[in-house]
Amino acid sequence: MKNKKESYKFGLLAETAAAVFLMAKGYRILARRYKTPVGEVDLIARRGKTVAFVEVKARRRGADALSSVTPWMQDRISRAAQYYISRNSSFAGCELRFDLIAFAPPFFLRHLDNAWRPST
């Protein structure tokens, strides 16, 4: 098992790779590690009229990363997204989307757009 410092560095590497990947796809990164009283969003990105709230999951195996977002995490990210939108009214007319980027070294990076829809 890795120690906390190694895990933190691994997560930062994954978030940086995900941000670069999204920028290459034409997204503008609006925020990284956006923390709120109700949750955190790893990346907030915009392309056109779409604002994507992106959870980045880094694991040693790609399949583990793809399956690691629990319903509890989805709710936490959804609440943080609503918090962000409530404080950035210029995005109120945009389509909101919840994405997952799964990362596993050395070459696995998968972007799932609309990975989940928030519960109502």
Give pLDDT, residue 1: 44
**Region 71-77 average pLDDT:** 90
**Region 37-58 average pLDDT:** 94
pLDDT at residue 66 above 70?
A: no
Give pLDDT, residue 106: 78
Task: List the domains of the chain with CATH numbers.
Answer: 4-112 (3.40.1350.10)
Distances (CA, A) of 71 to 94, 115, 116: 24, 12, 9
Is the pTM of the predicted complex or chain greater than 0.85? yes
pLDDT at residue 21 above 70?
A: yes
pLDDT at residue 120 above 60?
A: no
